[in-house]
Amino acid sequence: MAGVEYSASMMCANYGHLENEVKILEDAGIDSFHIDIMDGQFVPNFAMGLQDLEFIRKATKKEVEVHLMIKKPGSYLDLFINRGVDTIYIHPEADYHPSTTLQKIIEAGIKPGIAINPGTSIESILELLYIVDKVLIMSVNPGHAGQIYLPYVGQKIDKLLAMKDEYNIDVYWDGACGMDKIETFAPKGMKGFVLGTTVLFGKNRSYGDILADLRKI
């Protein structure tokens, strides 16, 4: 669908040929690269590190966004601000003072974003919507790739999409994102989708063919 942004979830990429993966995805027309940082505490998994981020940042001129699934993200921001990323997402419930952390991201000239877990209500983050540019809706519980979509999140997504113009935010989808979800939610105003194993990686099809199909849904 024209105008919709697609980001590659790089924790799902082939790390035996990471440089080639980045180049092929870039040539295929991916809009950005999504880097999941997990600490084994906020979520039950460890994923991606600073070396991965640095390598991907140097390998592409496309936008690179960092999704911090870590406790106290405000304590570690400098590690990511100084590596040339374009967007930083934090989970508000992972920080004592998320508004302070977001303000630091803004002052660094980086796009501020929040990620909302399936069990996090919109009402609990309303005030933060005034200071963020992007909201990443998690349609699965964070921590692992290949999970199943949680249908009850759909109502929350509809509610947030109805509010996006009032708060001047862009809404993005992360988790279990298949063609059916894009076809349903892109016309409702979803700005972009993070693509992982559901539709992009491990499909025995070229990334170019897959993205071409997504663009013409």
Question: Cα–Cα–Cα angle for 84, 198, 58, nearest 5°?
Answer: 20
Give the model's pLDDT for residue 145: 61
List the chain domain ranges: 5-215
The rounded distance, in Å, linking the Cα atoms of 175 and 212 is 20
Question: Cα–Cα–Cα angle for 4, 91, 119, nearest 5°?
Answer: 85
Is residue 11 helix, strand or coil?
helix
Give the model's pLDDT for residue 144: 62
Give the model's pLDDT for residue 146: 54
The CATH code of the domain at 5-215 is: 3.20.20.70
**What does the block give as tokens for 178?**
């298949």
Give the model's pLDDT for residue 140: 77
pTM over 0.85: yes
Q: Residue 14: CB partners within 8 Å, gap ≥ 6?
A: 21, 201
- pLDDT under 50 in the chain at which residues? 1
Name which of 61, 35, 62 is nearest 48 in CA terms: 35
Give the model's pLDDT for residue 1: 45
**What does the block give as tokens for 201?**
């990686």
H helix runs in the chain, sequence order: 18-28, 50-59, 77-81, 98-107, 153-167, 179-185, 207-215
Give the model's pLDDT for residue 47: 86
- Residues annotated catalytic, as ranges: 36, 174
The answer to whether the beta carbons of residues 35 and 52 sit under 8 Å apart is yes
Tell how strand 46-47 and strand 32-39 pair up: antiparallel
Give the model's pLDDT for residue 45: 84
**DSSP classification of residue 66:** E
